[in-house]
Amino acid sequence: MRSKIVAGNWKMNTTFQEAEDLLYEIADLLNEQGKGDADVIICPPSPYLEMASDIGVENDFFVGAQNANDHESGAFTGEISAAMISSMGITHVILGHSERRTYYGENDAIIKNKIDLALKHELVPIYCCGEVLAEREKSNHFEVVRRQVSEALFHLDKEAFSKIIIAYEPVWAIGTGVTATPDQAQEMHAFIRGLIATKYGDETAADTTILYGGSCNAKNAAELFSQADVDGGLIGGASLKAADFVTIVNSFK
């Protein structure tokens, strides 16, 4: 189902106490200011998932993990499985983030397995795609995103695909302060929706939620979210500041 969504990816930040304080600060602001008809998903570091989920249940926001392993279970020291995440009552998981692709060698074949396991365990995958700067400079960005989306997702049948949330995160915009222009975001989101339409039909394409991520903040969110094919954001740095994050949540027209 297509929804308005603002998701916060805290990455590897906060101590337990800082995380708890930030969650309550966000919850208080959401309760004060409302969130319109947007869904809020907060993705804290894994050790805090259960604590965050308890606060989320009381305050009407979802909690997601930032990653899950590509195996069901077994001898993978230090890793966290989709089954574990799901068994704690967590609802979403970010998969394919560019930091996982760059620093941990994840490719679309690995991410495809993660997608399958997430769906098997009834987690909603937030699938990240996006080109690096050199690819955009060579005008290769549409082809890169087409490959990422089709290789990791297009093996799914229509029903399974309809559970996926896509996040377009141009790598050159992540953590750099350089945001895609609203036109650049809209152009790529429309392209992704077109790929989905070709594969699964217009109805599925129209029903897919596509988020933008990459230096999205309290100042630029409203313009980005006003684009026809931008259904919300996946927010990094600005999700660690409660007031900014809740402003972003309330940036839909």
Closest-approach residue to ligand 13P (CB)? 236
Catalytic residue among 92, 97, 141, 189: 97
Q: Is 97 noted as a catalytic residue in this protein?
A: yes
Q: Which of residues 200 and 233 has its CB atom nearest to ligand 13P in the complex?
A: 233
- Residues 121 to 160 in contact with ligand 13P, rule: CB under 6 A: none
**Contact call for residue 170 and ligand 13P (CB under 6 A):** no
| Positive/negative CA dihedral, 92, 231, 177, 247 | negative
Quick note: the x/- pattern for ligand 13P over 80-109, rule CB under 6 A, is -----------------x------------
Distance CA 212, CA 124 (A): 17
Beta strand 4-9 with 62-65 is: unpaired
- Cβ 174 to ligand 13P shortest distance, Å: 4
Q: What angle do CA 176, 6, 84 make, to 5 degrees?
A: 95
**Contact residue for ligand 13P among 56, 64, 213, 232 (CB under 6 A):** 213
Catalytic residue among 92, 121, 169, 189: 169
DSSP string, 135-173: HHHTT-HHHHHHHHHHHHHTTS-HHHHTT-EEEE--GGG
Distance CA 190, CA 42 (A): 26
Q: 171-192 burial, b if ≥16 CB within 10 A, otherwise e?
A: bbbbeeeebbebebbbebbebb
**Contact call for residue 246 and ligand 13P (CB under 6 A):** no
**Contact residue for ligand 13P among 67, 86, 215, 247 (CB under 6 A):** 215
**Contact call for residue 169 and ligand 13P (CB under 6 A):** yes
First to last CA, the chain: 19
* Piece in contact with ligand 13P (CB under 6 A), picked from 22-30, 110-118, 193-201, 234-242: 234-242
Beta strand 62-65 with 92-95 is: parallel
Q: Is 169 noted as a catalytic residue in this protein?
A: yes
Q: 217: which 2 tokens?
A: 């903040």
**Contact call for residue 5 and ligand 13P (CB under 6 A):** no
**Contact call for residue 211 and ligand 13P (CB under 6 A):** no
Binding site for ligand 13P (CB under 6 A): 9, 97, 169, 174-175, 213-216, 234-238
